[in-house]
């Protein structure tokens, strides 16, 4: 994964259907409903239905980071403010929302480690009551 690059953009809106139609006509993006109030835009980001009328309508970029806790400390030390700390997106990773010293909102994204595939097992053939590995079976022929 590239280090500290913007990898996801979210649009907060009071009318998700309107934005979906708008961006669909302009960019031919593909959409799918990910969860109530959230529409994924394939390869781009998402459209977030504003849950509270007092919440600002903003565009939020998310930056990939290796360690949310360490990055949150840097945000605070630099004069930023954490608004939502390490929220899990099940099966995918965690995000944090913060603002810079000027009040601009940004997100941090730490993906979950990918699970390693189980080591390959030798193929085994059953012959009668005993098991013979495929290699031994080939030698016996």
Q: What's the pTM value of the predicted model, to 2 decimals?
A: 0.70
Residues 6+ apart with CB under 8 A from 15: none
Examine residue 101 and state whether it is found in any structural domain, yes or no.
Answer: yes
Examine residue 56 and state whether it is found in any structural domain, yes or no.
Answer: yes
Query: In angstroms, rounded to a whole number, what is the distance separating the alpha carbons of residues 136 and 132?
Result: 6
Task: List pLDDT tens digits, range 72-109.
Answer: 999 999 999 999 999 999 999 999 999 999 888 999 99
Examine residue 1 and state whether it is found in any structural domain, yes or no.
Answer: no
Domains contained in the chain, number: 1
Q: What is the pLDDT of residue 62?
A: 95
Q: What is the pLDDT of residue 54?
A: 80
Examine residue 117 and state whether it is found in any structural domain, yes or no.
Answer: no
Domain around 24:
6-111
Examine residue 125 and state whether it is found in any structural domain, yes or no.
Answer: no
In terms of DSSP bridges, do strands 81-89 and 31-35 run parallel, antiparallel, or are they unpaired?
unpaired
As a whole number, mean pLDDT of residues 58-78 equals 94
Contact 65, 110 (CB under 8 A): yes
Examine residue 135 and state whether it is found in any structural domain, yes or no.
Answer: no
Q: Please report, for the domain that includes residue 73, its CATH number.
A: 3.10.180.10
Examine residue 67 and state whether it is found in any structural domain, yes or no.
Answer: yes
Examine residue 127 and state whether it is found in any structural domain, yes or no.
Answer: no
């Amino acid at each position: 994964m590239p280090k500290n690059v913007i990898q996801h953009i979210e649009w907060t809106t009071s009318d998700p259907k309107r934005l979906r139609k708008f961006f669909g006509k302009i960019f031919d993006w593909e959409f799918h409903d990910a969860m109530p109030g959230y529409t994924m835009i394939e390869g781009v980001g998402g459209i977030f239905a504003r849950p509270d009328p007092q919440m600002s309508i903003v565009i939020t970029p998310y930056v990939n980071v290796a360690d949310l806790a360490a990055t949150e400390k840097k945000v605070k030390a630099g004069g930023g403010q954490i608004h939502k700390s390490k929220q899990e997106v099940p099966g995918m990773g965690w995000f944090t929302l913060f603002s810079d010293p000027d009040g601009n909102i940004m997100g941090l994204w730490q993906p979950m480690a990918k699970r390693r595939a189980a080591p390959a097992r030798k193929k085994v053939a059953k012959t009668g009551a005993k098991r013979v590995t495929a290699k031994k079976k080939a030698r016996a022929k």
